[in-house]
Structure 1
Amino acid sequence: MNIREKLYQPESRKLEFKSRIPAKMNDLLKTITAFANGAGGEIIIGVSDRERTIEGVSEPLQMEERIANAVHDGIMPMISPYISILNFNGKQVLIVQVLPGSQKPYYIKSMGIEKGVYIRIGSTTRQAAPEMIKELNRQSLGIAFEVETDFTKTPEHIDKEAVNQFFHQMGHPEPAYEILKKWSLLGKNNGDYYPTVAGLVLFGICDLPDYDFAGIRLTKFQGNTMTNISETREYSIPILPKMETICRHTADFLQKESYLEGIRRLERTIIPFYALREAIVNAVVHRDYSIRGSGIKINVFDNRMEVISPGILYGNMDISDLGTGLSECRNRAMVRIFRRMGMMEELGTGIARIYELFLNRNLMTPLFFEQGQFFKAVLPQESQEKPGLIKEYLNSESR
């Protein structure tokens, strides 16, 4: 993509425009740090972020050296951005390209690691919370939170019936502890076995109060706002045995339509059931379980369905990558189990299929975006010809 094409792109997780270098160099370092802690990114200096007019910069060589020195002296671990000068219609534009870092978390040296870590959420740069700093450190070590062992629990906190049902469906006998360890449902320390986060979320016995965060809340609202609640259902761990029930209950809340199959008139949800299930399964297997303050929420309105899960896109993924076949996996153990259960297809294909199904049914295009520390999927229940309130909603959320 050349500079002219980028002028028409909105600012995003990977792109930011600045008319000039900020008066406080730390403001620029925050963005560079956030790009390194995320999916990488590009800062284009000399272009206004609103009108997108080419204003250019004066003395670009001195500015390039100033930025390079500030990054070298001000960020830890060391970052080496690519800084280039582009002549555009007789004006000089500075482009700072930052690659995703492999030594996360990166932080502003003068602020320290407790306060100097920044991340990119949508088109904004924000200070990372302590939980996110730990997650960035895990990413650099290649460790997933889902496989961390919970030393406050024992294998008896795993629902034996739920585990046996899973292995029975795969055609395997009742598993021993070592088999559960191979599936990352148990961990081993000094000869003793302890359940992992994944093991407790998917197969943990119910009524573990410290795992309330892993539950799912399904709410049906009257109308298109959150003013009037019609019905709410709660689902606690173990989550895996309840997935089909959750999807079926969600479908019960959705708008229906009739259609002909041969000479028979049948009924189906306006939102394709595959899309419904894909959105819910993705929320379970891709959410950030290190965020314990909130669970997954499924909200059903007259004109749309929303699935909200804690955690922004993982690794180098950006919203623009969704539906292109690209994928990165935060919780590999969970993905492996869901694929063996037949609840997931090949990674990277699900959202592309959702787009296709909505297009075939002439429904409004689904929307996927990050909102704060959450990822939201919005599946419309209205057609392209009658956008109604959903069009206004999607436009406001995408701004």
Structure 2
Amino acid sequence: MRNNSEVHGAKSLDEIKQLTESPENQYFDRKSARLKIRDIARHVIAFANASGGRLAIGIEDDGTITGFQQQGAQNIDEIERCHIFECEPAPSVIASRLSVTNSHGETDTVLLLDVAASPDVVIHRKGDNTVFLRVGDKSRELNHEQTLRLEYDKNQRTFEDEIVQWSSFDDVDHEVLNEYKSKLGTSADDARVLCSRRFLIDGHLTNAGVLLFAKDPTQFLPQARLRVLRFQGENMETGAHINIVKDQSFDLPIPKIIRGASTLISSLLREFQYLGDDGQFATIPEYPQFAWFEGVVNAVIHRDYAFAGDYIRVSMYDDRLEIISPGRLPNIVTLDNMRTTRYARNPRIARALVEFGWARELNEGVQRIYNEMQEMFLKEPIYSEPGGSKVQLVLENSITSRMLRTEDSMEQRISKQVLESLSGYEISAVRLACLQKKVTVKELASYMHRAPKTIRPVLKSLVEKGIFDWHGSSMRDPSQHYTLR
């Protein structure tokens, strides 16, 4: 059996490896001990104004351990107190020293500064009153307008940390919490884990704790849900012409909302076939998976949960997919800079979802949505703020151009007079047959979002009219299918 010192040594080695090899990101940065104390304060301030984070002093950007023994290194005691003497007001920082062996083989020290997010006040640097904000892996200086927006946003930040007085530990969904603990690699007590991340305070869940871990978040926050709607056609109809074919709400903790909604959306999306240059048919999805999934995750992370009058909606039409998230773009993010700028309105939720693996730390998501749409020869995603009270993402598919090609193909094979005599369901079946070599009951049912019992008479009618041929040994033949005559 290993003694305690050996166990401690193994843990230290693991921590040193993580500090030297982990990429710098929204929550972590490495800095040389030679850096001026005011410049170190810059990064402390940036973390405090954003989502909090860890600063490792004594490690170069490339991961080399240079420690505090090197020539030109600052005084470790002064760096340890820089948040007190260089920041106004002083943020909450926990300092710890880690014994290491530096690049010259000498016993040395790395200073770790764990900076807590400042929930309700903007931190400035003393002397010049400069404000910094952590954005991705950079600590950016804010201009006057950006600083004002950050000050306004800090009032919003308190929402995450507000205690829900009528909640308790009994409201926790332990399936979600166990998954979270597994991702963190900890076996600590459940309550301790929640308390350490300020999701549980004095026995009560915070708003962030409710949204992430409560079995029924809408019991406390009725707006905490996501609704998926699938429409038949390109517009929403009402009354006798209502065209909703699927309507499902998810009133669950955020991790389960993401998982459940993405599974449903994936099942509702269509696939299209096209004839490639090699003469073979290939299948392509209606939208790239990353694009719509990232859109859903971003909506869940960045929505304004303090706004109680609305919820997240995903609306699927024949020609587009729309994702609407209540609340304007957060802080320094605008429609013009959103591809390159990252800011979390809900930093505790954002960090938890990074740890779950649902979100990405760096600001790559929005840009990748653009890239994925472009690679599939689809139109650029459209972001907007309709009414100034919500953010909308629209992904358009290429159904229009596909349909134009299909209509040409249909009229080449079937006379216009015959086409005009067909029902809407029959035209849809013929259209699908023009898109691919053969049609099955299951494929047409999925394509039209209808039950198989509705589809079978349509195919039978087309066979009777001499438009389709049926292929199969019997009606129970699993390989049976239909083709255009």
Q: Alignment partner for residue 168 of structure 1, among 178, 182, 192?
A: 182
Residue identity in the other structure for 1:224: E
Q: Distance in 2 between matches of 1:249 and 1:265?
A: 27
Q: Distance in 2 between matches of 1:300 and 1:180?
A: 36
Secondary structure of the 1:319 match is coil
For structure 1, which runs of at least 5 residues remain unmatched after alignment? 1-97, 105-135, 389-399
Corresponding residue for residue 310 of structure 2: 294
- Number of aligned residues: 254
After superposing the two structures, state which structure 1 stretch, 364-373 or 198-207, moved more. 198-207
Q: Compared with structure 1, are the counterparts of its residues 305 and 317 closer, same or farther at alpha carbon in structure 2 (3 Å cutoff)?
A: same
Corresponding residue for residue 37 of structure 1: none
Q: Which deviations, in whole Å up to 9, do the C-alpha atoms of 1:190-219 show, x marking residues without a partner?
A: xx2210111111211127434221011000
Q: Distance in 2 between matches of 1:198 and 1:268?
A: 38
Corresponding residue for residue 477 of structure 2: none
Q: Determine if the alignment matches structure 1 residue 216 to structure 2 residue 231.
A: no
Corresponding residue for residue 202 of structure 1: 212
Q: Compared with structure 1, are the counterparts of its residues 248 and 176 closer, same or farther at alpha carbon in structure 2 (3 Å cutoff)?
A: closer
Q: Determine if the alignment matches structure 1 residue 146 to structure 2 residue 160.
A: yes
Secondary structure of the 1:143 match is helix
Q: Determine if the alignment matches structure 1 residue 311 to structure 2 residue 327.
A: yes
Q: Distance in 2 between matches of 1:147 and 1:263?
A: 59
User: Going by fraction, where is strand more abundant, 1 or 2?
Assistant: 1
Aligned CA RMSD, in angstroms, stands at 2.9
The CA deviation at 1:237 is 1.9
Q: Determine if the alignment matches structure 1 residue 240 to structure 2 residue 229.
A: no
Q: Distance in 1 between matches of 2:217 and 2:382?
A: 34
Q: Distance in 1 between matches of 2:225 and 2:349?
A: 15
* Higher RCO (CA-CA < 8 Å; seq separation 6+): 1
Conserved 8 A contact 2:353-2:359:
yes
Conserved 8 A contact 2:199-2:209:
yes
Corresponding residue for residue 282 of structure 1: 298
Corresponding residue for residue 225 of structure 1: 235
Q: Distance in 2 between matches of 1:160 and 1:137?
A: 36
Q: Distance in 1 between matches of 2:163 and 2:153?
A: 17
The CA deviation at 1:102 is 4.5
Q: Compared with structure 1, are the counterparts of its residues 199 and 266 closer, same or farther at alpha carbon in structure 2 (3 Å cutoff)?
A: farther
Equivalences for residues 372-387 of structure 1 within 5 A: 372=387, 373-382=389-398
Corresponding residue for residue 100 of structure 1: 145
Secondary structure of the 2:157 match is coil
Conserved 8 A contact 1:211-1:237:
no
Residue identity in the other structure for 1:158: V
The CA deviation at 1:349 is 1.0
Secondary structure of the 1:205 match is coil
Q: Distance in 2 between matches of 1:365 and 1:383?
A: 15
Secondary structure of the 1:153 match is coil
Residue identity in the other structure for 1:157: D
Q: Distance in 2 between matches of 1:349 and 1:239?
A: 21
Conserved 8 A contact 1:215-1:234:
yes
Q: Compared with structure 1, are the counterparts of its residues 100 and 137 closer, same or farther at alpha carbon in structure 2 (3 Å cutoff)?
A: closer
Q: Compared with structure 1, are the counterparts of its residues 157 and 265 closer, same or farther at alpha carbon in structure 2 (3 Å cutoff)?
A: farther
Secondary structure of the 1:340 match is helix
Corresponding residue for residue 88 of structure 1: none
The CA deviation at 1:150 is 1.0
Conserved 8 A contact 2:218-2:224:
no
Conserved 8 A contact 1:225-1:301:
yes
Conserved 8 A contact 1:157-1:204:
yes
Q: Distance in 2 between matches of 1:218 and 1:209?
A: 20
Corresponding residue for residue 16 of structure 1: none
The CA deviation at 1:341 is 1.8
Q: Distance in 1 between matches of 2:245 and 2:154?
A: 44
Q: Which deviations, in whole Å up to 9, do the C-alpha atoms of 1:72-123 show, x marking residues without a partner?
A: xxxxxxxxxxxxxxxxxxxxxxxxxx9426567xxxxxxxxxxxxxxxxxxx
Secondary structure of the 1:212 match is coil
**Greater Rg by CA:** 2
After superposing the two structures, state which structure 1 stretch, 234-243 or 273-282, moved more. 234-243
Secondary structure of the 1:232 match is strand
The CA deviation at 1:265 is 7.2
The CA deviation at 1:336 is 1.0
Equivalences for residues 237-386 of structure 1 within 5 A: 237-258=252-273, 267-323=283-339, 325-372=340-387, 373-382=389-398
Q: Compared with structure 1, are the counterparts of its residues 237 and 138 closer, same or farther at alpha carbon in structure 2 (3 Å cutoff)?
A: farther
Q: TM-score, normalised by structure 2?
A: 0.48
Conserved 8 A contact 1:255-1:302:
no
Q: TM-score, normalised by structure 1?
A: 0.58
The CA deviation at 1:184 is 3.0
